[in-house]
Every structure is written in C-alpha cells, then in structure tokens.
Structure 1
C-alpha cells in the first residue's frame, strides 16, 4: 500500500516511557502497548485537568517536569509524513494529574464539587435561580449549548424532568445544600400533578410522555412522540418517570412518591410483564394496554434491554435501598436472572443481544438497531450485575460481569486516544479486524459513564488492578474532554480525538436524550465507589425525612448496594446536634419522634 503522504491531526492517550531533553522528544505507550515517539514544538502548551468551576491550571512551564515515565497524558498534535511513516509533533497536552498514578479525579471531593456545579447550572438554565424562584412551569426540554431555552420550544418531557430531579436529589445527598432538595421536591410534585394519569378502572397509574405548554394551557401527550416509540407507551418512559422521584424519596420518605412507585410497578406487573415466557415487553398500546396489539407495528410483542434492564439503575435499586422491601429485591433478582439467561450471545458476537421477539428469539431487523451493539449497554449490564452481586450473590452474575469487562476494551474502547465508542456492528464481515462504526466514531458522554462505573465497581468489589486501570483511563478521558469550562455542564459528544462535537442536537445541554441525569449519576456513584470501596475515604450524606414517613421511623442510609460489611455509620447529626440512636452495621438511623422535618447528616466510614 502506498504510504499516506498527507498530514492529519489526532490525539494519543497513554503513558510516558522516556523523555529525551536534548532531542525534545518523548515516548508514549498506549493502553494496548503500542509506543509512539512524539516531538515537542516551540508553541506546545499544556494544562492540568480542572474540575467544573475551577480556574485554568497551566502546565506549559512545567512540561519538562511533568513528562516523567509513567505519567498518563493526552497529547494532541499533527502527524507529518516522514520516510515510511509519520512524525508526530505535539501541539497541546492534558495531564490528568501532576505525577504518575496521581489523578485529580481521584481527589475525595472531586465528584462532589462536580455534581454541585452541574446542579447549579441546571437551576440557572431552567429557572434563572437564584434570581427567580424555582417554578417548573418554566421548565423546557431543549436547552442550547449555553443553557438558554429555545424560543419556540414549549415541550416538557416527563422523563427529562424526572432525570433532572434525580440529579438535583443526588446533589443534595452529597452536599446537603437545601436549594437542591427544594428543586427536587418541587419537580417531584410537578410530575405528580401534571404528568401522572390515574386509571380508576385498573386502579393504577401511568405517566404521560409530556406536555406542550402555551401560556397557561397544557396539552397532555399520552403517547410518545419520539420516533422509535411513536404512538406507543414505551416501558422505558414509565421506568424513567420514577428516577427522580425515587431518589427524592430516599431523602424525604414522601409517602405520595412511594404510592406512585407502587402503582407504577403494578402497571409493569399487569401489562408489561410476560408471565409465560418471562421478561418485560417494551411497548403497550395506549388504549388497550396490550403489548401484542397490531397498532404497535414494529414494537408489537417485543422485549429489549430498556424494558428489562433499565428498571434497576433508574429506580428499582434506589427503591430497595429506601424501603428494604423484599418484593423489590425479588424483582431485581428476576430482572438480572432474565438478563443473564437471554442476553449473552458469545458464540456469535462479543456483544450482548439487545432486542428480542416475544419468545426470546433474536430481533435483528428492528429499526436502527438491526444487528448492532450499543457499547454502553454492555458496560451497564456489567456495572449493575456487580451491584446485584452484593445483594444476592450468584456466581453467574460475577461471571457475566467479568466476561463483559474483559471483552469490551478490545471491541468498544479507543486504545489510541482513550474513551469509549457508541454503536458498532455486532459481527465482523469476512476479512475485517475492527467492528465497524454504525454512524460515526464519536464518543457520547453517557457511554463514558457506563465504562467508568462498571470498572470502578468491578475493582472495588474484586480488587483486580486492570479494572482500576480501565476506570482511571475512562475517567481521565471524560474529565479532560467532556467538561464545558466556558458555559458549564457536560458536552454531549466529542470527536474521537476528544474535541467537542457541536452540531445539531448534539451541541445542546438539554434534549430528549440529555438532562442532568447520566452526568450527575456518574458523580454520585463515582464518589461512592472511589471513596468508600477503593481508596477508603469517609463520606457524608444528607437526608431530610418527613415526620413518620419511613416505616417504623427507620431511615436507611446505605448510599448504594455495596458489599456487606464494607461500610458502616461513623457518626450521625440531626439538625446539627450529634445523635446516637443508629445501627452502624445495618446502616439505619432510628429517627426521633418529631412533628418537624429534620436534617440528618450521616458520616459513612469504609472498612
């Protein structure tokens, strides 16, 4: 093949092997062991990774000091044709930390500070807070790059409100800042009052797709207007309608939220659950509530990852954490057993199968998915299997999680630049060595989240060094490239090289696909896994229960499903006063008999 005699710019992410001061060059070894020689240029500059809300941290005058063997870096530069190959000249650097094996994102308060910044951004963008009061009538689904609302957009999608509420509630759990709880409670109330439909004939509730607001008039949208689910009631919209309220319920114990959740679970059990062949259908007809109705078209009698697997991370794990009810533990076990039984397809592909017909035969002709894999869904399965393993240990849970964890770096990650890809073909054509990208080689923010959380919890539970390396590399890429230090928040997509991709809806901070959910979920759980499981830093969590709201006046404070005995309560304060009526090992606090809503601060210590 004729050599490529043209220049091109790109990024190399890896580890310094040596630094030659005389020739102004250094070696970079990538995650998969390939080594490049890179050359400094007179105008090369560098920065240390900074968190949202932090000032720029220049490293340009320290390049000689920082280019130390073992140092993790991202080097962006230009490849120039030279001889039989190319010469790589570096134009800029991002350093995830200031020394080998030292990462800024592993500082104990990194993720807490980041979720605080994200939550404040969404309060400002959606409500102009603190200049004006928090009023969800002003909420809009679409936000542009700087967080401004589109003038012609009056859509309020139920799921995007719920997902933002999740982020605000999570921010309160980590910071105790009252404005976040106020916004979470107001959002939960707004969802109940405006997005909830009660069916007296069936004595259950389901959730509207959203509403269109024109002045004080509201047009209820019962069926989905999203193209994949048009004119249907998709399971995932009902699932994610609970995400924010249930995270809020963990804080307050609001009995109205619990009732909504119980009746929505009844909806799943009555109309989505396949009692004969197992699993949950992905869609039901809006009139008959029948998953087999002809009107559903391509979504008739189908099951998929979202309808089976999304229950756990969206609301069910948090519902169990808050209540301890066995029926929710049983539902979790049922969903994970279903995933473990039907989703692996390793004789044909390194990726799980994601869409199915009613009898669990493969659906490889549906819409955009065809026979394609979403990288993040594979990683999401591994992450949540390891959570479930700490509740109901089973060898098959760990086996599948590790199978995914060991396969995915070779087929879903970018070993030259860092980060994780989006959607790829599930099988190779003859002669191919790389699973082809379906649309592009861009990298979405939520897929990075799944990788980070999967490898963090795998390392936290199983203590395998390679898992920590993958988690570090994914976190480093995310924090180097996805944080918007100009307008706040997180970029939707980057190019493969890490530069933000700012076209179409992918430049927005709010859309059908993006709200304050995956970015805040990442902050909340990364802080927990890093601090409590891996590096053994204690953490504080905050609650504000309503009087008598929780069963037997017991507040359950475990931040996530973690290995039994891995954490305990160190201290508790109620309204600023130290309080001793708690069970350190059971992770419960016996609340005082009071008619006032009290603020509970819990100091969790790793063991």
Structure 2
C-alpha cells in the first residue's frame, strides 16, 4: 500500500527564533504568533547576499546561527496540521541584531550593481548611445520593442545621477547627462515659456504626445509630466546645468497654468492633448479628476530635490500646499477605513468608482504618504504632518503587511470584510511597495527614535533583500509571490516596462543610505557633485543636503574641491560657494550627524 504526501503548497515563514531543538525551531512571526518549523538532515541554509556577491551557503553552520533572537525565513512544504517542513533557511545576519544590510556600504554597493545592469542592458559594453534605448527590458537584460518612453528614460537618468552622488563614479554621471540631453533633444516640446514632454518616441522617429498606456490612453497624464522631471532634476542637483534648469522651470509653469485648479486647489490628473482642457469630454473617466499621482507625486519625483538644489521659497511653498491638501483630503474616517482615499472629483468628493481602483487601496501609496509627510515635517513642522504619518505607520502593518511571511501587499479593499481587507486581485508583492515601506519606517525611526518603527524597517529590508534581488541576471524582480518566490509572467517578468525602470530601486538605495547612516546609525556620509562652470544655482551656492533632514541633525564637515581641501563652506546651511573655473569641478563633501553633540 502506497502513502501519498497530502500537502497542498509550499510556503515561507518569517520570524524570530524563540526556542529550538535538534530537529525543530519555534519562530515568533512578525505579528508575534508562534510557528514550529521542522528541520531534516536535508535542510539547507543560505545567508542573504547583495547583488554582485557570491552565494553564501551556511548549511554547515545551522546549529550556530539558529539561535534565539535571530530573524530568519523558513521555506518548505506545508503538510496538513499544519506541519511546516523546512527545506531551506535564509538568515539575514550571522548573529541576532546584526544584519548583512547594516553594513554602511550595503545600499551603495547595490546601487552600483543596479547601474551596471541597466547600463549593460541598454547600451551593451560599447558607447552610451540613447538612440539604442528601449523601454522594454527582459528578465535577462535584453532590450525589446521599439518604444522609448520619456518617463522610463528619466527614471534611468535619476538612478545614474543618484549613483554618482553616492559613489563619484563619473561613468554614471556620463549616462545621466547623455540621457538628460537625449530627453531635451528628442522628447521635449517647447511652447513659449512652457515645456511639455512627449509620451514617447518610436524607433521610426514618430513622436507620441498623448499617452499610449491603458489607464491614460489618448490623454496627457500629469504623472508622466511629473516623472519626466525626475532624472533631469537629480542631474541638475549634481551639475547645475542651466539648460536643465530652464526645462524644469518651463514644466513647473505647465503645471501651474494647465493642471492646477485655482478654485479648489491641487492639480488635475489629465489634459486633453488638443485643447489642454482637464474637463474635456474626451477624457472620459479621467475628466475633472485629481489623484495621489497628480497631487502628491510632485514631491518625491522632483520637488523635494528641486528645493534642495535651489533653496527657493516658491518650491517650499508648493511643497507645503501639496501636503496641506494631502492631510486635508486624503485621510478617511478610521471607523470607515484605515487607508487613505486616493482619487477625487473636482470638488474633492472621493471617486470610488474609477477604473481598476474603485474603492481599493494601494498599500504602497499609503506608505509613500507617510514617508513624504515626515520629510516635509523636517522642512515645515506641522502637527498634522507628523500625526498623519504616525497614524499610517501604526495602522499599515495590520492591514497591508504579510505578518507570517514578511513583505507588503499590492492592492486590497479599503473597507474590511469579515475582519480583513480582501485582496483586489492577488497576494503578490511588488518591488516599489517594499521601497515605500523601508523608507517610511527608516525615516520615521531616524527622526523619532521609535524602536517599533525601526523594527518594521528592518523586517521590510530583510524581505526585500532576501527575495527581490536577482542574482542570476542582475537587477531586481518586479514582483514575487506571497512566499517570496519570483513571479515571472506578463509584463511583470521583465526589468523594464512602462511601469518599471531603474528609479524606485535606485531611490531606495540612495535614501536608505542617507537615512540609515545619517539618522539611524549616526555615521558620516560622503557625497559627490560635479558643478559646471556655468552652473545655474541661486546665489552661486552648491547645496549639498541629500534630503529633507531635521534641522540641526546633520552638518557639512569637510569639502574637497578637485581633491584639495577647502574651508569655504557653511556647515549649518550645508552650502559650498561655487569656485571660479572654466571646467567642471568635482566637489566631494562629508556630512556628519550631530546627535549627542553639545550645540
């Protein structure tokens, strides 16, 4: 008589080791439930590794590593009972409280590898020629299709410029500058003092003004114009290129003149491509609408970085107006839903019937709002900013996180049914939503010192680094299944599409480095800039603050200009007067945390 092993699935359990025996370990999951996982003589173990690092098999060290307090992922079949069979253990560090991603260079090294992947995918080993660029990139790093989308080029440019800021690698800056120039020459439309950005350029040379993407087809969506600035603004921060500054100003005027609602505030989400009317019948369900992307996405995509580069009050006022609108209109009554509302009619009445979203909540948008409210609170301190950020941070783990496996879900229903928020489509997890969680909880922990926030950040970093890094082909996966295994179907199989370029993964690496080193671990941080001789920075000052940081928490400690020490800088304002030069100069700065110092 044969016996059938009647298990239905394999699964992952994430948790902290509480107790262990010779062939079992009791884990306390992220929401403090106890699960026993059963080890066998064939259980293998690995240590989380960074992109570009060799595999680290630690099977022979399981007995030494599987100790109380250790955060670990266990994966294997689940038999009826349930009985969790451990086929593989994934350790995030070699001892409790010391994770591999705590290393000061972890995120910087990851950004180097991301840059290497996308440079090779788009341009091979030869010269950087953006005529070769394609939005589509396969899992293995091959270009596909014949379309160059403005936003995906801009997002690649952002990643390369951010990489230069952290590493000083001039090859990355070269890609960023060439990409910015390609955008200006091929995908920009100037009308008087306004600058518009085409949706894309086909290989045959045909330019597409209106969006081809399903949600926005036939319209000019605000978020495409917003993200067209992500790369050029980050490059402008490094170089001060006056041509980029002019394009940025022209696009900001476009927002003010055609997208802004002067009566009720905020920005409309779409324009008709012929009349530039946000209320045109041709826009269908996008007519007279506002949403998170058209209101709040200005801030992370370009506006924080534009203010950091210029210090101009008008950009600070635009940021303040943005977040005043967010705290006024986005929160729902907690008795109705813990999630924010994301889509609105012209009069700010919530739109709960739009397209695929209806009354669904994008988990990452909630976390993104918390992250950016904390940043804004460092520039203009308001009780409502911090209070809403704290409220979102306190409620999201119970409704948007996977408490047994780790990681953050995609889209769920805003209103609970039978005590839970049902998935809208699936229980997969996408890379960019993990980014929002990591940055939200890191900046909350770094500015407030709450250990619970830091725990959520660490657990989010652990899941991302354990499951999203593609060690075979490079880059990061678009999505993983609930248990962390890669999801490789459709557009989510690739590394480049309308929805994915280098931006979110690079932004994570850059800002996780900033928050971890300067705010969480109180470690110094070096940054590189390359201002041109004609750099168009107000008052001829290079502003080197890497992000919106709490006043007084960080000072500029050291400046090297072309490798030579300079004492001409303002430590508190974190500014460096631009030297007179006929060539670009390399400015390397060291920022130093001040926590614990007497000031």
Which TM bucket (shorter chain)?
over 0.9
Give the whole-Å Cα distance in 2 for the aligned partners of 1:246 and 1:349: 36
| 2:396 aligned with 1:404 | no
CA apart distance, 1:578: 1.2
Tell me the secondary structure at the aligned position of residue 582 of structure 1.
coil
Give the whole-Å Cα distance in 2 for the aligned partners of 1:326 and 1:552: 14
Answer whether contact 2:242 2:534 (CA < 8 A) is retained: no
Give the whole-Å Cα distance in 2 for the aligned partners of 1:30 and 1:37: 10
Which stretches in structure 2 are left out of the alignment for 5+ residues? 595-599
Give the whole-Å Cα distance in 1 for the aligned partners of 2:421 and 2:328: 25
Residue of structure 2 aligned with 1:248, choices 215, 220, 235? 235
> 1:149 maps to which residue?
143
Deviations 1:356-385 (A, max 9, x none): 000011111110010100000000000000
Q: Where do 1:223-238 residues align within 5 Å?
A: 223-238=210-225
Deviations 1:26-84 (A, max 9, x none): 10000111001111111111111100000111110000000100000000011222xxx
Q: Which runs of 4+ in 1 moved over 3 A?
A: 4-7
Residue of structure 2 aligned with 1:133, choices 110, 120, 127? 127
| 2:464 aligned with 1:478 | yes
Q: Where do 1:289-300 residues align within 5 Å?
A: 289-300=276-287
| 2:320 aligned with 1:333 | yes
CA apart distance, 1:551: 2.5
> 1:494 maps to which residue?
480
Answer whether contact 1:548 1:593 (CA < 8 A) is retained: no
Residue of structure 2 aligned with 1:413, choices 401, 413, 419? 401
CA apart distance, 1:5: 6.2
Give the whole-Å Cα distance in 1 for the aligned partners of 2:7 and 2:138: 36
| 2:428 aligned with 1:461 | no
Tell me the secondary structure at the aligned position of residue 223 of structure 2.
helix
Answer whether contact 2:7 2:77 (CA < 8 A) is retained: no
> 1:273 maps to which residue?
260
Deviations 1:453-498 (A, max 9, x none): 0000000001100000000000000000000001000000000000
> 2:194 maps to which residue?
204
> 1:179 maps to which residue?
171
**TM-score for the superposition, normalised by structure 1:** 0.96
> 1:452 maps to which residue?
438
Measured on the aligned residues, the alpha-carbon RMSD in Å equals 1.0
Deviations 1:514-540 (A, max 9, x none): 000000000000000000000011111
> 2:13 maps to which residue?
12
> 2:426 maps to which residue?
440
CA apart distance, 1:428: 2.1
Give the whole-Å Cα distance in 1 for the aligned partners of 2:539 and 2:459: 45
Answer whether contact 1:538 1:603 (CA < 8 A) is retained: yes
Answer whether contact 1:158 1:241 (CA < 8 A) is retained: yes
Give the whole-Å Cα distance in 1 for the aligned partners of 2:415 and 2:587: 52
Answer whether contact 2:188 2:198 (CA < 8 A) is retained: yes
Q: Where do 1:558-573 residues align within 5 Å?
A: 558-573=545-560
Tell me the secondary structure at the aligned position of residue 583 of structure 1.
coil
Greater mean alpha carbon deviation, residues 329-338 or residues 88-97: 88-97
CA apart distance, 1:86: 2.0
Tell me the secondary structure at the aligned position of residue 9 of structure 1.
strand
Answer whether contact 1:493 1:501 (CA < 8 A) is retained: yes
Tell me the secondary structure at the aligned position of residue 41 of structure 1.
coil
Give the whole-Å Cα distance in 1 for the aligned partners of 2:547 and 2:100: 23
Greater mean alpha carbon deviation, residues 542-551 or residues 67-76: 542-551
> 2:490 maps to which residue?
504
Give the whole-Å Cα distance in 1 for the aligned partners of 2:52 and 2:482: 25
Q: Where do 1:74-113 residues align within 5 Å?
A: 74-81=73-80, 85-113=81-109
> 1:538 maps to which residue?
524
CA apart distance, 1:553: 2.1
| 2:401 aligned with 1:386 | no
Give the whole-Å Cα distance in 2 for the aligned partners of 1:445 and 1:69: 30
Which stretches in structure 1 are left out of the alignment for 5+ residues? none
> 2:288 maps to which residue?
301
| 2:117 aligned with 1:121 | yes
> 1:519 maps to which residue?
505
> 1:349 maps to which residue?
337
Give the whole-Å Cα distance in 2 for the aligned partners of 1:168 and 1:368: 33
